[in-house]
Structure 1
Amino acid sequence: MALRGWAFPEWKTVARAGFGAVLLGVLAGSALADDALKLTELSPNGADACFGRVYDAAHLKAHPHQKVARIFFYYGHDPVSRPNEEPAPSDTSYNAFVATTVRGAKAPQWAGGWCNHESEDGKTGPIHCGMDCDRTLASLKVDDKGRLLLSDLQPDVYLDAGSEEELGTAEYDRQALGKEDDNFRLDPMPAATCKAEFARIDPIDPALGPPLRERLKPDQAFCYGRDYDAAHLGSHPNQLTQSIRVFRGPVELASFASGGDASNWPDGADIAVSVTTRQKSGKVTQTYSCQGEADQWRCAASSKMSDFSCDIAQKEIFLKRGADGTMMLANPNSSLAIVDLCSKAADGKTKSDDKVYRLQPMPQSACAP
């Protein structure tokens, strides 16, 4: 049934982690080379190394311009991974990862890069950690007690380059790190401690089962839907949807087989959505092209195999896995094909009950043309 009263910020439109909105497609993770880690100051035995610190209330009260309440630095193989809907990691050379949680935040933000000695032989001198786009992640030293001294952490480490001008001073200051968020002294910790901290970034809800990208294979047809009876529609007078189907059939499978990359699944997956409303005798079908993003599939309306021909790329829906094998569909911006997506009626927020749907798995015949 269509669900009412959901808070749509829960359906994320941009996952701002790592290097800001750019992401460059490689922040899904890294697979360090099998060679032992080279910076022996950080990792004397070649194993992954973890350093961290959690600041207490007294410290934060004494440092009002420090936003960071928790900070962890991990040197080694990717501790972030992608446990939800984003594609499996591609190989990169990242060997350093920073996670910080600011005051009041529920989850950390993170960034990754490369750390090496600043010397011609690469074996001596200060340790510098760089990021994509020739940016600095941090500078590192290890003191005589094995603690990591982390400096040069940039205020905009989680923002795009040039974001101060784009956002304006006030919003930039709100999103950037604080004036005292630098020169951290971090204690050595077990690698498992860092992995647990990074796992807080994109946690899995075990009650929901495997991600959709695992449930639904690149070469697998599927059909989910819901039919609403007169009693339901009578109690939901603002709901236009009488019947809804979300599916991949032979056409969508052939489209992915010819141009998709199974290693990046579900990115590039086409799905079709068919809707019958109270006001129309026939169903309207719209195709969407999806990509994995955090715990959902973000699907933009496509001109392929659709009933509309205008530029509708900004019309989006979002798919999530639901409990007991269901699929949740969110339509916060009138992007469901209840009305002609090219018309003015499709602009603005959805005002009816046609915002969120809990869909049941159905036989493929239920989604046949």
Structure 2
Amino acid sequence: MASRMVGVAAFGAAIVFAGAALTDDAPKLTELSPGGADACFGRVYDAAHLKAHAHQKVARIFFYYGHDPVSRPNEEPATMSDAAYNGFLTTTVRGAKKPEWAAGWCNKEDPSDKASGIRCGMECDRTLASLKVDNKGRLILSNLQPDVYLDAGAEEDLGKAEYNKQALGSEDDNFKLDPMPAETCKAEFARIDPIDPALGDPLRVRLKPDQPFCFGRDYDDAHLKSHPDQLTRSIRVFRGPVELASFAASGDTANWPDGADIAVSVTTRQKGAKVTQTYSCQGEADQWRCAASSKMSDFSCDISQREIFLKRGANGTMMLANPNNAVAVVDLCSKAAEGKTKSDDKVYRLQPMPQSACAP
């Protein structure tokens, strides 16, 4: 199924627009930003307008030109590059609780022609929108594609009915947006993924390259009775002496957590069998993406595509997830792992524990 190209990271599901926005020394489009500052344009449609335009799904629309109004410190430190995005679009359709958004690079269609229009391009040679500022300073936003928030080829993948449901409407184009304070756009983009103060620092800050950690959870009989398909009785996620030594020997602290090894031990409810699997991690948006490693298993098997994701949870907890195949409860290089390893063991909320609780 085609996925929406949103800017919110989820456990291995979302496609993230990475990188920072417009660099401070990059040339500005003076039509959008005469003084060189970040510029905001927007419009909120009232009930009368929407009633008169039955095929317009968009109820709120904002365009921001300048520095990234969406991203915030996470597992992947912000970087500046000449190829960074400088145009950001967010729309909220009728009945939606929060906006969707997309980003692109905005440049003159013909740099040699002062009267040339502006095109904002996206990944895969797609167009985000065409822009023009009228004599009243309003932004005319056109050429907005119905599938701007969908993957390329979504119509074929989804089928016509589902595509029409997820795509924008036939009247969602040629928007006339009023200039607004930059803070108005920032507040609108903040609605996409509100900051939860309870989450605290990202894992790359909370967990240090040279320090061990241990997170885990033990499930009692009452929980297991209410989750009959869950195989996990207890779980531990940790970095101990072996993992610390591995990173000290070959890791790069400047790129932490890329290359960090972690170990995951799972004790099942079936005869108390315990399985420990090593994973190698890298920072990706607001999570760690960790691929199964052969360091503690038979090197003859290919387990590089078996992944888990770590994400900060509220109040110092850690979320661990494998939404595709569940967390491994067998040695991933054993014959038992040749088939499906699915169970009701996909998402865990883990508490910090003393290192002794993660001892082999």
Would you call these one fold, judging by a TM-score over 0.5? Answer: yes
Q: For 1:298 and 1:284, how far apart are their aligned partners in 2?
A: 20
1:358 counterpart residue number: 349
2:229 aligned with 1:236: no
Letter in 2 for 1:199: A
- Partner SS, residue 53 of structure 1: strand
Letter in 1 for 2:107: N
Letter in 1 for 2:18: A
Which of 112, 116, 136 lines up with 2:107 in the alignment?
A: 116
Change (3 A) 1:344 1:61: farther
What is the count of residue pairs matched by the alignment?
346
- Partner SS, residue 357 of structure 1: strand
Which of 65, 69, 72 lines up with 1:75 in the alignment?
A: 65
Which sits farther off after the overlay, 218-227 or 232-241?
A: 232-241
- Partner SS, residue 163 of structure 2: helix
Superposed CA deviations along residues 155-193 of structure 1, whole A, max 9, x for unmatched, are 222223333233332232222221111100111111111
Unaligned residue ranges in structure 2 (runs of 5+) = 1-8
* Displacement after TM superposition at 1:52 (Å): 0.7
Superposed CA deviations along residues 277-327 of structure 1, whole A, max 9, x for unmatched, are 343455310123445555544444343434796444554444332333222
Q: For 1:307 and 1:234, how far apart are their aligned partners in 2?
A: 36
Which of 154, 177, 181 lines up with 2:172 in the alignment?
A: 181
Which sits farther off after the overlay, 99-108 or 330-339?
A: 330-339
2:6 counterpart residue number: none
* Displacement after TM superposition at 1:138 (Å): 1.4
CA contact (8 A) 2:289 2:310 kept: yes
2:152 counterpart residue number: 161
Unaligned residue ranges in structure 1 (runs of 5+) = 1-9, 16-20
Superposed CA deviations along residues 117-147 of structure 1, whole A, max 9, x for unmatched, are 2334264422222223332221111122211
Change (3 A) 1:115 1:328: closer
Q: For 1:144 and 1:344, how far apart are their aligned partners in 2?
A: 66
Residues 1-369 of structure 1 mapped to structure 2, 5 A cutoff: 12-15=11-14, 21=15, 27-35=17-25, 38-91=28-81, 92-121=83-112, 123-228=114-219, 232-233=220-221, 236-237=224-225, 238=228, 240-256=231-247, 265-280=256-271, 283-292=274-283, 295-306=286-297, 310-313=301-304, 315-330=306-321, 332-333=323-324, 335-341=326-332, 343=336, 347=340, 349-351=342-344, 354-369=345-360
- Partner SS, residue 185 of structure 2: helix
CA contact (8 A) 2:40 2:184 kept: yes
State, as a whole percentage, how many aligned pairs show the same letter: 77
RMSD: 3.1
Q: For 1:355 and 1:120, how far apart are their aligned partners in 2?
A: 51
CA contact (8 A) 1:78 1:95 kept: yes
Which sits farther off after the overlay, 260-269 or 193-202?
A: 260-269
- Partner SS, residue 243 of structure 2: helix
Q: For 1:298 and 1:43, how far apart are their aligned partners in 2?
A: 38
Q: For 2:255 and 2:184, how far apart are their aligned partners in 1?
A: 29
Which sits farther off after the overlay, 52-61 or 317-326?
A: 317-326
Which sits farther off after the overlay, 274-283 or 183-192?
A: 274-283
CA contact (8 A) 1:50 1:75 kept: yes
Superposed CA deviations along residues 72-96 of structure 1, whole A, max 9, x for unmatched, are 1111111122344444345234221
Q: For 1:110 and 1:163, how far apart are their aligned partners in 2?
A: 17
Q: For 2:175 and 2:214, how far apart are their aligned partners in 1?
A: 52
Question: What is the TM-score of this pair, normalised by structure 2?
Answer: 0.82
Question: What is the TM-score of this pair, normalised by structure 1?
Answer: 0.80
Change (3 A) 1:259 1:171: farther
- Partner SS, residue 146 of structure 1: coil
* Displacement after TM superposition at 1:107 (Å): 2.6
- Partner SS, residue 40 of structure 2: strand
- Partner SS, residue 192 of structure 2: coil
Letter in 1 for 2:19: G
CA contact (8 A) 1:286 1:307 kept: no
- Partner SS, residue 114 of structure 1: strand
Letter in 2 for 1:54: V
